[in-house]
Homo-oligomer: A and B are copies of this chain.
Amino acid sequence: MAQNIYDQDDFFAGYSALRRSREGLAGAPEWPSLQAMLPPLRGRRVVDLGCGFGWFCRWAQQEGAASVLGLDLSEKMLARARAEGGGARYERADLETLVLPEGAFDLAYSSLAVHYVADFPRLARTVAASLAAGGRFVFSMEHPLYTAPTAPGWVEHEGRRVWPLDAYLAEGERRTDWLAQGVLKHHRSIATVVNALLAAGLRLARLVEWGPDAAQIAAQPEWAAERDRPPFLLVAADRPGPGSA
């Protein structure tokens, strides 16, 4: 079973205070880029892997999705999501051992959750099988450049701010202190993520190494460094349809 850090009091308190937790999608700077990778949701069946407080599930309902299923490991987050209402169904699930009905969804969505999963190839196969022909998997994750280093954090070198990259190809566990001590993440390279999707029978549709744009940096000057080392990787991959060439 995956580490359930979100139900730990200190982490949950810290996470709840984040801008993306308080403001939802509008508080997540990468949301416009991720949104641009989504298909139209009207009449579609949607599953959200790691739904948190349910911000995306509520948005998908408002967009006219036929059904929305939010899955999360955290009881505290599910309780909050259910309390908000909105028509989505919420269930507890561990992405490490996830079982989904086959061909049941048109969109599988996941925001900043898959870097907590040790067995990504298994998850990719599970998601691929759960998609109907022509369905899409859209997800964000911490960028491998963000998770790779032995000591992640900007440093000064000869008057310049640099990201001290090492261990990029050393895939596996990373423990960091973010909101709580000893948060467990799993580092893997971009190639490993992409090849796992391809091996699962999905077709890569778009890759985004996300950094803030000029307008976002003007509004939040401290974000400029994120263009030196992108914090997020966004991915869209499709399950081929019967008539696709």
Task: Please measure, in the bound complex, the distance between the C-alpha atom of A162 and the C-alpha atom of B206, giving whole angstroms.
Answer: 30
Any B CB within 8 A of the CB of A211: yes
Q: Considering the chains assembled together, what is the distance between the CA atoms of A169 and B211 in angstroms?
A: 7
Residue of B nearest to A150 (CB): B160
Instruction: Give the chain B neighbours of A149 by CB distance below 8 A.
Output: 162
In the complex, A165 Cα to B149 Cα: how many Å? 11
In the complex, whether A86 has a CB less than 8 A from a CB of chain B is: no
Nearest-CB residue, chain B, relative to A208: B191
Contact with B along A221-245 (1 / 0, CB 8 A): 0000001111000000000101011
A194 within 8 A of partner (CB) = yes
Residue interface mask A154-167, B partner, CB < 8 A = 1: 01011011111111
- Quick one: copies of this chain in the complex? 2
- The reply to whether B207 and A190 form a contact with Cβ atoms under 8 Å apart is yes
A139-160 with Cβ < 8 A to chain B: 145, 149-151, 155, 157-158, 160
A120, chain B: closest CB distance, angstroms: 15
* Cα of A245 to Cα of B207 in the assembled complex, Å: 22
Could you tell me if A228 and B167 are in contact, using CB atoms closer than 8 angstroms?
yes
Q: Say yes or no: A198-B204 contact (C-beta < 8 A), given A157-B157, A161-B166.
A: yes
Most central of A160, A207, A227, A244 by chain B CB within 10 Å: A207
Q: Is A203 an interface residue (CB 8 A)?
A: yes
The interface on chain A, measured as residues whose beta carbon lies within 8 A of the other chain's beta carbons, has a size of 40
Q: Could you say which residues of chain B place their CB within 8 Å of the CB of A21?
A: none
**Residues of chain B lying within 8 A (CB to CB) of residue A155:** 157-158, 162
Complex CA gap A162/B162 in Å reads: 10
Closest to A158 in B: B151
Is the CB–CB distance between A168 and B229 below 8 Å?
Answer: yes
With a CB–CB cut-off of 8 A, which chain B residues contact A245?
240, 242, 244
A242 partner residues in chain B, CB cutoff 8 A? 245
Q: A151-B158, A162-B165, A167-B228 are in contact. List 9 more A-B contacts (CB 8 A).
A: A157-B164, A160-B164, A161-B166, A168-B227, A170-B228, A191-B207, A198-B204, A203-B204, A244-B245
Residues of A within 8 A of B (CB): 145, 149-151, 155, 157-158, 160-170, 189-191, 194-195, 198, 203-209, 211, 227-230, 240, 242, 244-245
